[in-house]
Structure 1
């Protein structure tokens, strides 16, 4: 029987599930283990159609269907190989900052608004003024404030708010109350305790995911784990009562999920694998998942135990750090996809910034340590548009871009199809390429200039992160960030040579891990393993002690120690080349001048702001 962990990534336009095998140390003297992917499943979905520009929503049921499709693929692979699999634990990660509202029956209320929905800048500005610190417009609380104004009927039914990953975790562990159309009566399975969702307090999120919903109080030490900023929640509630009604809605604290750091097993949720229970359960997702996890007569076998632990859902960016095996302060994880993100871990004593940097956002890693995030809305979107314009063969065009001269033949690009809050680009529509002449108008130069423009924006943002970290270091804690490696994840890593371009632009080594292009799901599987290890350790400790060892959250250093036991399978490490570094520095000087002209371009294309 192979011990495995299931990682699920609810991405922006598709879901990935990885079944990962945990191998034992290679020798008695070695303490390292490795995680190997043995099966993979995927499911796709799209945005709700016909919405206005800048509006991005999805149907939560589409995530359910994608999950079942992905798990069926994994089950088929297990059957074909006749592998006997014992799934110890599951963890779900996904797109942060979404807003899924849930009613008293545990069902989603309408569609979910996503991280890329741009409708609530006004609300973010209101919260920034209220709290005295910058609140990014993608924060879930800002989306909820928008809904209070524009979707009052939806909000009136809401008893809990969560994220896409939090919702899927909720669906895996909570039977939904079904209302029979004929009688209107509610039906649930009597084998379950408290099947009806009793508000946000019955939901649990990982601390990284929770910090994307509402700011975290890192200094809270009264409960043994991170908590939301309660004073800010009180300010939010008072503002809402004054603006809307004294009796509506409930306190934000009642709506938000509870927080757990990685490995904190308090209130852990098992998926119960008992066919007799699930055959009575009228809800589709739980029954389908149960069917997939039961013994298969064709030789493949998944999980003969009675339950599978389900770790708290965690955000895609904290999970990307986990997948990169990054936990030490100063290291940077770069993720290239629809959006582009760079995360740098801060020290345990680092202070949250009091400034109002437009580029750097502050969230939390899976163990509660602060992370500085540079987020770019305009990631590979413009690159994909240009690929479509030049024939649509992504692999061929990217290969031509890699082979193009370092300076792109003199071309420069701006990638702003959409607004870019971090760079104070307030409106989209100013994506362009300049510098064409008779000799440089070829596919490779165009695609490379497009790619480099995003990397330049990322470089400008990470420099602000490093400057902020230098200013915020504790006297007792020296965090050296210069020349640390960058770990690259995301879809762009399917063409590894892009790592060389990034290394030359940043003038520091870039490392790619074996599972870089599946970083989210692989990182979730890693979190699932850590959760199971902590649960096993707590069980052993409680059986040999009169008091339970699981009454407090793990020390953040426990997570760092765990990461050091995981053996990384690196594909490549790229080192900067001095000549190309110098060329990119010269290009960056020109790019900054072009970036300074963006407001004028915006006024030309879009009219006065």
Structure 2
């Protein structure tokens, strides 16, 4: 069985690289996945670029084999390709395309001074993970590589550049590098001039506008797969060159697409290694909040983003421990069954987290002004340490910082939310993460039947939209009337008992934050 048109989406996430191949009806016809992890090296969270290409090639090869096994046809040509990856971070190249310093990911909280100065200069929140904060911090640190920068981009922009030779970026991903003026669909000129004027005394060889990627919007062609790019993606040489690529996007943008949340009055929550909400704005925020970013959809609309660095990593580590206990007694249990049973143990009506507080901080968390990662579990002597209580406190911890930022949007900005679309690993166990989150936020959290396909599927949609753009007025039109026309959405009402328990948990969580900060200062062993 073959399809006339095939569209490939590849997303480099925090813990895995996934590729999805869809037909023109956006049905998944093949997929591939490869697990990977960042490394903390010399105090910096990073991925080696060699691992980037090994992971991409392994993922694509898995997809190619999956396609052949399913359809008995070799995959040699594709109608369109899209690349997505984690937003933000710092990936600086010289004029010879050499990496000037190890890739600094979004997870780092090492740019506090730069973020503070730029936020006050621009009167616009610049979070620590943004590319411009990393660049300015490098300047403040007098790092010698800065003068040699020829190109500054994101991980998605880097991979796209190596595949196509084009230094471009989708507007959503670009909005996590430097602020966007939504009225013109480009970098904010006033802020760009402020930055360039501010760095004049350094006499760098470059100005900011010369080293940032060109911005493109969804639906535009962003170049073609080169001969070298085809071999980078498929070293076997079977994949043909000349395939059009759509603008590379960040994982936030693909999440919005995968949940049909790119228009005003829509929003979504992505809950995986990190957790963030994306609320498409009808008007600008009235104030600057350090807890809230303003980024953009793949079509350029402004979005309020509450981004928290930590979500499921600590849960995963505890479940590994429980699995080790099972293995010790000779019990073989699948990972899916283990997650399901442990997550569901938190849903018993008798469960209470009184006296139990978790901090899931594998890395720093700007919202709570925590500079470094120290996962921590605190309990009082009279607390009840049952499995259900323990697991619920873990689940609460995964969304506690998100709650702080969301309260600002709802209470201070008066944003009305009828429902949010949820996607990511936290929602994998049916009903559990969804119930916890909808109760904690007192907002309906819906999960659609396609959300499990994730950002790679969202990227494949963007690639297919580029090929079908002339048939639809806008990307929103394409999503509503083509992609999600017959989509089924599951909605769960808030649980009042969980809602009360979570609110009590948050009081203890906030009151114990000083303990977490002391742990960062004291628990150090080189």
* TM bin (shorter chain): 0.7 to 0.9
Once the two structures are overlaid, the 10-residue window that deviates more, 121-130 or 597-606, is 597-606
Once the two structures are overlaid, the 10-residue window that deviates more, 140-149 or 499-508, is 499-508
**Equivalent residue for 1:191?**
none
- Selected match of 1:235 from 165, 174, 194: 194
How many residue pairs match? The answer is: 504
**Equivalent residue for 1:584?**
499
C-alpha spacing 1:509/1:44, structure 2 compared with 1 (3 Å):
same
Aligned: 1:494 with 2:436: no
Shift of 1:67: 1.1
Once the two structures are overlaid, the 10-residue window that deviates more, 367-376 or 500-509, is 500-509
Q: How does 1:367-516 map to 2 (within 5 A)?
A: 367-392=299-324, 395-396=337-338, 398-404=340-346, 405-406=348-349, 408-411=351-354, 412-417=356-361, 418-429=363-374, 431-435=376-380, 437=382, 440-467=384-411, 469-470=413-414, 481-482=416-417, 484-498=418-432, 499-516=434-451
**1:67-102 deviation digits (Å, cap 9, x = unpaired):** 111111122222222147652111111100021112
> Rg larger in 1 or in 2?
1
Once the two structures are overlaid, the 10-residue window that deviates more, 415-424 or 283-292, is 283-292
Q: Work out the CA distance in 1 between the residues paired with 2:379 and 2:292.
A: 28
C-alpha spacing 1:111/1:601, structure 2 compared with 1 (3 Å):
closer
C-alpha spacing 1:455/1:12, structure 2 compared with 1 (3 Å):
closer
CA RMSD of aligned residues (A): 2.8
Is the 2:15–2:273 Cα contact (8 Å) retained in structure 1?
no
- Selected match of 2:9 from 7, 10, 28: 7
Unaligned runs of at least 5 residues, structure 1: 24-34, 175-201, 221-225, 273-277, 295-305, 472-480, 538-553
TM-score, normalized by length of structure 2? 0.87
**Equivalent residue for 2:223?**
269
**Equivalent residue for 1:288?**
234
- Selected match of 1:330 from 240, 265, 268: 265
**Equivalent residue for 1:596?**
511
**Equivalent residue for 1:17?**
19
Shift of 1:496: 2.0
Is the 1:170–1:203 Cα contact (8 Å) retained in structure 2?
yes
Q: How does 1:140-155 map to 2 (within 5 A)?
A: 140-150=131-141, 152-155=143-146
Shift of 1:437: 4.3
Shift of 1:410: 3.6
C-alpha spacing 1:355/1:230, structure 2 compared with 1 (3 Å):
same
**Equivalent residue for 1:82?**
72
Aligned: 1:532 with 2:467: yes
**1:310-334 deviation digits (Å, cap 9, x = unpaired):** 0111111011010111123222211
* SS of residue in 2 equivalent to 1:113: coil
Q: Work out the CA distance in 1 between the residues paired with 2:14 and 2:136.
A: 22
Once the two structures are overlaid, the 10-residue window that deviates more, 113-122 or 395-404, is 395-404
TM-score, normalized by length of structure 1? 0.76
Q: Work out the CA distance in 1 between the residues paired with 2:147 and 2:41.
A: 26
Aligned: 1:575 with 2:492: yes
